[in-house]
Chain A
Amino acid sequence: MAKVVFTPNIQRHVALPESEVSGRTVRDVLDAVFAENPQARGYVLDDQSGLRKHMTIFVDGRMIRDRARLTDAVSQSSTVYVFQALSGG
């Protein structure tokens, strides 16, 4: 099970506690989280299901490369960090 951690800043709008979910890609992991919390989806993903412009995701300390399709690999022992990018001010 991969661990998923969301930025503290998002918690003011929608509760997203640290969780453990299964999945082989970033998309799988996020889909699993949003299946439990549908409201949160639009806070992280845009209307095309890509990562919002000023959000960023790190898997085991590395920024993901595929922001549109979220195909970056996730392992059973990975930690996925979903944070806001400083580009958003």
Chain B
Amino acid sequence: MSDTLLVSTRKGLFTVSRKAKRWEITAVDFLGDNVTITLSDRRDGRRYAALDHGHFGVKVHRSTANGWEEIAVPTYPPKPEGYEEHDMWGRPINWSTARIWALEPGGPDEAGVIWCGTLPGGLFRSSDGGQSWEMIRSLWDHPQRKYWMGGGADLPGIHSICIDPRNSKRVWVAVSTGGIWFTDDGGASWSVRGEGMRAEYAPPEQTHNPVAQDVHCLAQCRSAPQRMWVQHHNGIFVSSDEGKTFTEITGVEPSTFGFPVVVHPREPDTAWFVPEIKDEKRIPREGKLVVTRTRDGGKSFDVLTKGLPQSHAYDVVYRHALALDDAGERLAFGSTTGGLWVSEDQGDSWACVTHTLPPVYAVRFA
């Protein structure tokens, strides 16, 4: 079980550690800076932090024996002379990293490989621990990329990257908004997946178009990789065939709207969500912050409240801000209003670490 959390916030990276009686903030890095996501690479112990300095752009830092060092940032290739592409408002899309939205290690057989998802939709791969990055042109140049749209931000972005634990060349990525994309050749070629997902915000002709799906978060069961869970813009979907087809889960109280999902590493039917009322009202229902958990593949859900505020709580939990440890026992989540909670019993009960962090973007167990 993990005793360490990395909490990425609008104003710095907070390391939270399990002490004798409680979890405590034990280190603060990049104080004042916008940390969008981190990665703790279990293969070599290195940590990575993606920063967004606003005026000065996106940067990546990697841990060293003595602190952090700035390393290469994924960089978009030169835009061909005369080539134009525009966002949904008709504004030119700049081929430039606007945010790092996903950082995942390659497989255990791929030392040094890091995958990186960005806005405005570029997927990058490093084979040297972030010293250099290569854009996956086959996905960027895919003709259907032009149908990707802004979802969580004005620009489309890759937020979820799942590496098949059985074969590192098989990779799924999810786009907001642009559906789920799959490669079985290490990124040389891609196809869209996700039949069965439904976009209720799209016109009828587009409702079931896999490329029109706003996947908020994609999670894959490590020991049963055929099982994938999706927290979607308008619901929860589950797949039992590696994301080829999905079934919608309905009738979940208090809601099926939200951003994150995590799945147990050995129990594919067990997954956790943090619901909000609905798309047009992104707050917990009745001011009660809850986590929902299914243990039976979505047939039923527990509404977990013990230790969570049940009055006037307006916490929103972003898609990377709910984490499950490798053992499948400990959970943690952080909120837009600076709350951080930890559970050591699969969500049955929660302890508040602090209410006063900056807005939390991502939480990961180290």
A21 contacts B by Cβ under 8 Å:
no
Q: Which residue of A lies closest to B79 (CB)?
A: A48
CB within 8 A of A46: which of B54, B59, B96?
A: B96
**Which among A9, A13, A85 has the highest number of chain B CB atoms within 10 Å?**
A13
Q: Which residue of B lies closest to A84 (CB)?
A: B55
Structural contact, B78 and A42, CB atoms closer than 8 A: no
Structural contact, B78 and A89, CB atoms closer than 8 A: no
0/1 per residue, B66-81, Cβ < 8 Å to A? 0000100101101100
Structural contact, A48 and B95, CB atoms closer than 8 A: yes
CB within 8 A of B54: which of A44, A47, A50, A88?
A: A88
Measured between C-beta atoms, what is the minimum distance from A60 to chain B in Å?
22
Please, how many residues of chain B have a CB less than 8 angstroms from a CB on the other chain?
Answer: 16
Give the total number of A-B pairs whose CB atoms are below 8 A apart: 44
Structural contact, B76 and A10, CB atoms closer than 8 A: no
A52 contacts B by Cβ under 8 Å:
yes
In the assembled complex, which residues on chain B have CB atoms less than 8 Å from the CB atom of A54? Answer: 54-55
CB within 8 A of A85: which of B55, B75, B78, B96?
A: B55
Measured between C-beta atoms, what is the minimum distance from A75 to chain B in Å?
27
Bound-complex Cα distance A43 to B94 (A): 16
Structural contact, B56 and A13, CB atoms closer than 8 A: yes
Please, how many residues of chain A have a CB less than 8 angstroms from a CB on the other chain?
Answer: 19
0/1 per residue, A1-38, Cβ < 8 Å to B? 00000000110010000000000000000000000000
With contacts A46-B94, A48-B94 taken as known, whether A10 is within 8 angstroms of B56 at the C-beta atoms is yes
CB within 8 A of A47: which of B55, B70, B96?
A: B96
Q: Which of B113-162 contact A (CB under 8 A)?
A: none
B53 contacts A by Cβ under 8 Å:
yes
In the assembled complex, which residues on chain B have CB atoms less than 8 Å from the CB atom of A39? Answer: 70
In the assembled complex, which residues on chain A have CB atoms less than 8 Å from the CB atom of B57? Answer: 42-43, 46, 52
In the assembled complex, which residues on chain B have CB atoms less than 8 Å from the CB atom of A13? Answer: 53, 56, 59
A55 contacts B by Cβ under 8 Å:
yes
Bound-complex Cα distance A58 to B332 (A): 47
Structural contact, B76 and A47, CB atoms closer than 8 A: yes
**Interface residues in chain B, defined as those with a beta carbon under 8 Å from any beta carbon in chain A:** 53-57, 59, 70, 73, 75-76, 78-79, 94-97
**Interface residues in chain A, defined as those with a beta carbon under 8 Å from any beta carbon in chain B:** 9-10, 13, 39, 42-44, 46-48, 50, 52-55, 84-85, 88-89
Q: Using A42-B73, A42-B75 as known contacts, list a sample of 18 further A-B pairs with CB atoms less than 8 Å apart, ordered by residue number in A.
A: A9-B55, A10-B56, A13-B56, A42-B59, A43-B56, A44-B56, A47-B75, A47-B76, A48-B76, A48-B78, A48-B79, A48-B96, A50-B94, A52-B56, A54-B54, A54-B55, A85-B55, A88-B54
